[in-house]
Structure 1
């Protein structure tokens, strides 16, 4: 089968032939990919940012936003069968450790993260587990929902955590309206009554944000912090969801957060520097956000299949993976790039 393989950090992946995976374990599931999302994390992987954290052995197949059709199952799999349409939670888990028992699947002590620490889904087939599979309506096209497996679940998980702080009359800033941010806007509209302010340096992204229900849009032209403060009476927002967190956006996001507010760090790549006295004097919270739980993804798919959350995508063939990565890096993708193996 064809797969997008990374052989060396700081060099582009290659599309090459590799053996097809087989369902050898009792809970193994082999999925024929119908859609594989292209994420900024894939760019960071190529840059070597995940090398120490993942411990992966090169070469390997990248891609961690996956949906398709079940091709083969292990002997103990009972929740899906060949032919089923599925979206895959990004972290196959053990189900037995404390984190799994508590419902915090993404912190599983024995889980894996295909596309980051093992072979991922930018390929024709992917080996995963029964615990990662969420069965979908057969009419659902995997290419239309694949990115919800990471971009979607990550944005939804952050909004879900912020919901108790976003009662009517509050303000939430969405910093970055790209692949994750545009899902975050829709999740906020579905789950809260907060006023949504979207900040982005791309005018087209702000147009999309307005179409998706943003109450205010702010162009990141160097005056974005002042603009948000003006919109909030000088106080800042109760919640800031930072989907960028690099090139200075992370400092802006904290500055946009009001006293006793919460700054959710979702994007990454930069360094957040905050004097301890600023945290103490204002009691602002800085909260990390890593993908989401199996239940988060299941809830998000309910919203998606009801038409309340939709992905704006640009599709590429598997052989066009390098074009997709280049377009994402250059900011030419509106919404999410999807490979269709």
Structure 2
């Protein structure tokens, strides 16, 4: 089968032929119908050798949907032909976090060698994908796989961050979204769907600011030195009750730090490598700073329900598997509107 792999540290993604895997006991094989590309993939491929810990060769792709096409011994709960989405942050399944569906915060996964698909385990950028356990599948129903696949990360990740901040976002509140790209443009829609907040979007790209307005942002501003004053002016000097930074670079974190309100919350979602100073005399009294990771399985179900209701959608650019390296380059260059999706 064809797969998109990272073969050597410092190299780029390549399309290769590898054997089609067979599912072992308890495993499920999917015929992949769509796989999403993410900036996290470039983060992994950009790591130096001394920091890289994902194994080589690595089949990329941590956003995946497909149709069940083979079952390992003992598998129940799904049948061949079922369309499913893959819940990516795999955990041990036995600890307290996993018992409540929060495998994204499993404290044992690393020590047990359990890794998400595309981030250690073979990923979804291939014609077939092995899923380790039926609990890591969510029914897709009649949702379009190409339009839906990015919700497994680009929808789930902002949803998890926003849901954990709901107490700060009643009617009359303000939410700032920094970065209106793949995750941010979905985050804007989620904020509009489940909160009463006024949404202010920031980005350095005019195209992404236009996208932010298209998907429901009340205001769209350049992410520059004037952004903090503009936010303060719009909020009567109070600041934003919640700031969601989908970039995570030092300049954007500084905007977040200076624009969050008293007793507000900053959610650092992006992995841009910045570090934010917090504490007395650095952030407003009562303000909290959080670095959320992915989301819970039940939250993925809720995200898909929002999509079924027409409340959220992902702007998608579609590519064939042979075009995946080109799609990755466009993603790296910031040229993708929304998310890039590969259809094997």
Answer whether TM exceeds 0.5 for this pair.
yes
Deviations 1:167-193 (A, max 9, x none): 111100011111001111111111111
4+ runs deviating over 6 angstroms? none
Q: Does 1:79 align with 2:83?
A: no
d(CA) in 2 for partners of 1:247, 1:277? 19
* CA contact 2:186–2:313 (8 Å) conserved in 1: yes
Stretch of structure 1 that moved more, 199-208 or 41-50:
41-50
Q: Cα 1:209–1:47, aligned 2, differ >3 Å: closer, same or farther? A: same
Does 1:164 find its partner at 2:171?
A: no
> How many residue pairs align between the two structures?
338
- 1:144 and 1:302 mapped to 2: Cα distance? 14
**Separation in structure 2 between the aligned mates of residue 38 and residue 338 of structure 1, nearest angstrom:** 6
Matched, 1:322 2:320: no
Aligned pairs for 1:1-341 within 5 A: 1-25=1-25, 27-48=26-47, 52=51, 55-108=53-106, 109-110=108-109, 111-128=114-131, 129-137=133-141, 139-246=142-249, 248-274=251-277, 276-279=279-282, 282-341=285-344
CA distance in 1, matches of 2:281, 2:273: 19
Q: Distance in 2 between matches of 1:195 and 1:49?
A: 41
Give the Cα–Cα distance (whole angstroms) in 2 for the partners of residues 334 and 8 of structure 1: 29
1:278 is displaced (CA, Å) by: 2.6
Gaps in structure 1 of 5+ consecutive residues: none
**The residue matched to 1:324 in structure 2 has which SS?**
helix
Moved more, 100-109 or 239-248: 100-109
Say whether the 8 Å CA contact 2:260–2:284 is kept in structure 1: no
Query: 1:138-158 CA distances to partner (integer Å, 9 max, x unpaired)?
Result: x32211111111111001101
Contact 1:80-1:135 at 8 Å conserved across structures? no
Query: Does the 8 Å contact 2:10/2:48 carry over to 1?
Result: no
Deviates more, 1:8-17 or 1:90-99: 90-99
Deviation at 1:92, TM superposition (A): 3.1
Contact 1:45 1:51 in 2 (8 A): no
Q: Within 2, Cα distance between the matches of 1:328 and 1:130?
A: 31
CA distance in 1, matches of 2:58, 2:339: 23
Distance 2:257 2:311 in 1: 29
Query: Any unmatched runs of 5+ in structure 2?
Result: none
Given the two structures, how large is their TM-score scaled by the length of structure 2?
0.94
Query: How far is 1:260 from its partner?
Result: 1.4
For the aligned residue pairs, the C-alpha RMSD in angstroms reads: 1.7
